[in-house]
Structure 1
Amino acid sequence: MAEANDVSGPLERYLSILEVVLASKDGLTVAELCRILDLPKPTVHRLVSALANAKALEVVDEGLKTYRVGVRMSRMLTLGRDENALINFCQVVCNELVNELEETCYVVKLAPQAAYTIAVAVTEQSYRLHVSANSEMPLHAAASSKMLLAYQDEGSRKRYLSGPLEKITPVTKTKVSEVLAEINKAKRDGYATCMGEVDPSTMAYAVPVFSPGGVFYSLGVTGPQFRINKWPKEYLLDRLRASADKLQRMMEMVGN
C-alpha cells in the first residue's frame, strides 16, 4: 500500500503535466511532455487524454497534437486570482486609452452565466452610453461579448446563447445561427463590432485579451457612430490591440 506522502502516483503525474503545460504558455506536444517528465509515451497519451476529456487540457494544433490549458482549468485558475489587483490594472489601461481616443473604453469579463464590465473609463464628453461599471453586456449583441464567445468552445457558445435573444434595437440579431456566424467572423478577423445593436446611435469595437488559459476578457471602445467613424478603423484596432497586449502582461503578474 502506498504511503500517504507518496508523490509518484497517478495524481502527481496529472498535476505535473498541468504544471509544465501552464509554464509553457504556448502548449506542449506529447513528445515534449515525455522528454520533460521522463515518462513513457503510452503513459503520457493516457494522462493527457483523460485531462482533455475533463477539459483541463485542450488540443490547439491537431497536426502536432499540441496541448494547452483547457477551459475548465482556466476557470479554476481564475478563482485564485487577486481580483482587486486585476481590476486595478484594467482600470489603468482603460484610463490610458480613453485619454488617447477620447471615447468610452472598458474591459469585460466572461463569467459562468454572463459577461459584465469590470473597468470603465468615460470621456469628458460624458456620453456614457450603455456601458457602466458592473453592467451586464448582451451576449448576442455587444462587441465585447461576441469577442469573448468567439474564443469559447461550441458547447459553451450554445449554452451562453440559449433561451430567447432580446431584440434590443431594430438591427439586433436574434437568431442563434446569425449570431454564431458573426462570432465566427470575429474569431477570423480578430475583432468584433456592434453597429447599433445595443443602442441605435452607437457603435463599438472590441478585441480579445489573451492569456495562457484562454480568452475570458475583452477590451472595447464605444461611442456615438459619428464620433467613432472619425477614426480610421485600423487605427482604433491597433490602439486596442496594443492596450490588450499590455493588459495581458499585467494579468500575468497576478497569476491570470
Structure 2
Amino acid sequence: MAKETAGQLAGAEVGEQEMILSRYQEMTDPCRVFRPLSTPDRILDLGGEEADGYILVETDAITFFPSIGSSSPGALDFAVAMNRRYYYQGLWFSVISLNSEYLSQVTDRTLAYALEHEFEMGKLYQRAFGEMRKLSAGEKLEISQLAHQTSVKKSKISLEDLIDEERLMISLSESQPVVPKPYAETALLIYLQENFSDLARFGEKSEDAEEEAFGAELYDEFEGWSKFSIQSFRLFVREVSLGVREAYRGYV
C-alpha cells in the first residue's frame, strides 16, 4: 500500500506532494489525526437528535482496510467516515469521524444520507455489543449492506447522488492522506483519552456487569495492539516518503 501511495503522489504537483507528505508526518503523532468539527452546526442540523449522542470529529485522513466485499486478498476498501464505539473509564462512547475534504465538497442531501448510514451502522453495532460478541467479516458486510438499504430509504437519496458520492470518494482516496484503519482506530481512542474531561458527558454506563466486563476486554485489546499500530504507521509513512524520492531519481 505504501508503494501504491507513493506512486500516486509521485504524479502530483510538487506543492501538493509536499503538503500531503507534511500531513503524513504530522499524523505519525496520533494526537494530530483527529480534531473537532469545523462546521458542527451543519452536521447537527442534518443529523438531528441522533447526532446529539455522538462525539463528532473530522480528519484529513481517508482510512483503508481489507475489503469485506471482495474475495481478492489484495482488495482494499476506502472510507470517508468511521463509526466506532469505545469503552473507556467505565463508560461507552459512540464516535463518528468524517473526512474534512469530503465535508467541504459533499452536498447537504448526500451528507444527510452519509450521517443516516453511520447512525444505522451504530445501532447495528450496538446491538452486537449488547450480545457481547465480536463480528465476523461476513456479519460486518451484512451490517453495512443493511445500513445502506435503510439509510437510502430514510434519506430518499437518488441513484445519481450515490454515484456522485462514489466518484468523490474515489477522488479523495487518490488525493488525501490514507491511513490504515487500525491506526485510525488507535488515534481515535487516544483523542477520546486526551479530551476526556470535555467528552465525558457523552459516555453511557454499561447495563450490567457482563457488559462492563466485555467493555474492559475490548479496551485491553485496543491497548494491546495500539503501540504496534503506531509503529506500523510510522513505517508506512517512511516507506511512502522513500517511494516518492525513488520515483524522482529516474528523472535526474
Q: What TM-score results when the alignment is normalised by the length of structure 1?
A: 0.24
TM-score (norm 2): 0.24
Higher Cα Rg, which structure? 1
Name the structure where helix makes up a greater proportion of residues: 2
Whose RCO is larger (CA < 8 A, sep 6+)? 2
